[in-house]
Structure 1
Amino acid sequence: MTDPRRQLNHGDGKEALLAATVRVVAAKGMRGMTFRAVADEAGVNNTLIAHHFGTRDRLLAAALEWSMERSIGLANLAEYASDAESFRSALIDNVLAEPALQVFQFEMVLEASRRPDLRPAVRKLYQGYVRELAQGRALLGAPSSEGLDLAMFAALDGLVLQYLGQAITVEQLSEAVDALGAAIAGGAQR
Structure 2
Amino acid sequence: MTTRRAKLLQSTCRVIALRGVRGLRVEDVAAEAGVSKTLIYYHFRDRAGLIAAAMEYVNDRAEDYAHAADGATGREALLRQLVGEFQDESAVRENSAVWGEFRAAATFDDTLRPVVSAATERWIVDLAELIEDGREDGSIVGRSDPRAAAVRLTALVEGLSGRWLSGLLSTAEARSHVSDALERELPSGADA
TM-score w.r.t. length of structure 1: 0.81
What's the Cα RMSD here? Answer: 2.8
Distance in 1 between residues matched to 2:160 and 2:77, nearest whole Å: 16
Deviations 1:32-64 (A, max 9, x none): 422222122222222111111121111011101
What is the Cα deviation at residue 150 of structure 1?
Answer: 0.6
What is the Cα deviation at residue 92 of structure 1?
Answer: 2.6
SS in 2 for 1:116: coil
Deviations 1:123-160 (A, max 9, x none): 01111211221122122115653212111111111111
What is the 5 A alignment of 1:139-154?
139-141=133-135, 142=140, 144-154=145-155
Return the match for 2:76 from 77, 83, 86.
Answer: 83
Aligned AA (1:172) = E
The match for 1:166 is 167
Q: 8 Å contact 1:156–1:177 — kept in the other structure?
A: yes
What is the Cα deviation at residue 97 of structure 1?
Answer: 4.5
CA distance 1:188–1:21, shift in 2 (3 Å) = farther
Q: Structure 1: where are the runs of 5+ without partners?
A: 1-9
Distance in 2 between residues matched to 1:56 and 1:80, nearest whole Å: 41
Question: Percent identity of the aligned residues?
Answer: 24
Distance in 2 between residues matched to 1:149 and 1:95, nearest whole Å: 25
SS in 2 for 1:155: helix
Q: Give the count of matched residue pairs.
A: 181
The match for 1:57 is 48
Higher helix fraction (1 or 2):
1
Q: Structure 2: where are the runs of 5+ without partners?
A: none
Distance in 2 between residues matched to 1:188 and 1:122, nearest whole Å: 34
The match for 2:94 is 100
1:17 and 2:8 are equivalent in the alignment: yes
CA distance 1:75–1:64, shift in 2 (3 Å) = same
What is the Cα deviation at residue 75 of structure 1?
Answer: 1.0
Distance in 2 between residues matched to 1:38 and 1:130, nearest whole Å: 30
With 83-92 and 55-64 compared, the bigger mean Cα shift is at: 83-92
Distance in 2 between residues matched to 1:56 and 1:188, nearest whole Å: 48
TM-score w.r.t. length of structure 2: 0.80
